[in-house]
C-alpha cells in the first residue's frame, strides 16, 4: 500500500490534489463491482435505492462504533475520539454488519492540532505497515489517502473486521473521519435515527 498525506485544503475544494478524486473514484468503482458480486441481481441505486438496488452513502459513525447488533443500534455517534492517555489506542475495532460494505479511501484529521503520531490498520486478514504522520504536524487538518493498485482497494465486506490503532502523543479530543463509502443492501439499515 502506498499513501499520501496532504493538508485538507489540498484534498478537497479549489486547488485540490487530483489524486484525491482518482482515489475516491477507484474505491467507489471497486466497491460497486464487489457489491454486485456479493449481492447477485442487485444494481447500484444511489442514495435512495429501489427494489433490487443497493445504496451508497458516506460512512456512518454508528456503524463503526463496535456496539452494533443484528437488529438495532442505540445512541448518536460521531468520529470524535477522546484520547485520554498517551501511547497506542484503538480508534476503530468492529466487524461490518450483514448487508453492509465499507470501502476505504483514507482518513481525515479535521482538527487543527494533531494528537497522533502513527496509525496501524488491519482490514480482515490484511495487516499494513505502521504509517507515520508526523510530517503533518503544523499543517492543521489533513488527510491520509490510500493509493492502492486496482483490485487491491481496501474494501471490508459483510462480517469483515476493521481494526485501526493510533499512537497518541498528546491527550485531548481528535476527529478521525474515514474517507470512502458505505454501501447497503437494505434502506432500513440507514434510515433509522435510533
Note the pLDDT of residue 21.
Answer: 78
Note the pLDDT of residue 145.
Answer: 76
Closest CA to 131 of 103, 155, 159, 154: 154
Note the pLDDT of residue 68.
Answer: 43
Asked if 28 and 153 touch (Cβ cutoff 8 Å), the reply is no
Note the pLDDT of residue 13.
Answer: 67
Query: How many Å apart are CA 35 and CA 57, to the nearest integer?
Result: 14
The residues of the chain scoring below 70 in pLDDT are: 1, 12-15, 66-76, 147-151, 191-194
What's the whole-model pTM score? 0.85
Closest CA to 158 of 103, 90, 105, 79: 103
Amino acid at each position: 500500500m502506498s499513501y499520501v498525506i496532504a493538508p485538507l485544503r489540498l484534498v478537497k475544494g479549489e486547488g485540490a490534489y487530483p489524486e484525491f478524486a482518482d482515489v475516491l473514484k477507484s474505491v467507489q468503482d471497486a466497491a460497486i463491482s464487489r457489491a454486485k458480486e456479493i449481492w447477485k441481481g442487485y444494481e447500484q441505486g444511489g442514495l435512495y435505492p429501489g427494489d433490487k438496488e443497493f445504496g451508497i452513502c458516506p460512512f456512518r459513525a454508528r456503524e463503526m462504533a463496535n456496539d452494533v447488533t443484528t437488529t438495532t443500534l442505540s445512541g448518536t455517534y460521531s468520529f470524535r475520539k477522546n484520547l485520554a492517555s498517551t501511547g497506542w489506542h484503538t480508534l476503530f475495532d468492529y466487524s461490518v454488519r450483514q448487508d453492509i460494505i465499507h470501502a476505504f479511501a483514507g482518513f481525515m484529521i479535521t482538527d487543527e492540532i494533531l494528537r497522533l503520531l502513527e496509525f496501524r490498520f488491519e482490514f480482515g486478514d490484511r495487516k499494513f505497515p505502521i504509517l507515520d504522520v508526523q510530517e503533518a504536524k503544523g499543517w492543521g487538518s489533513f488527510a491520509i489517502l490510500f493509493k492502492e493498485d486496482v483490485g487491491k482497494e481496501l474494501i471490508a465486506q459483510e462480517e469483515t473486521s476493521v481494526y485501526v490503532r493510533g499512537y497518541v502523543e498528546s491527550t485531548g479530543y481528535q476527529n478521525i473521519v474515514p474517507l470512502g463509502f458505505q454501501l447497503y443492501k437494505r434502506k432500513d439499515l440507514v434510515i433509522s435515527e435510533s
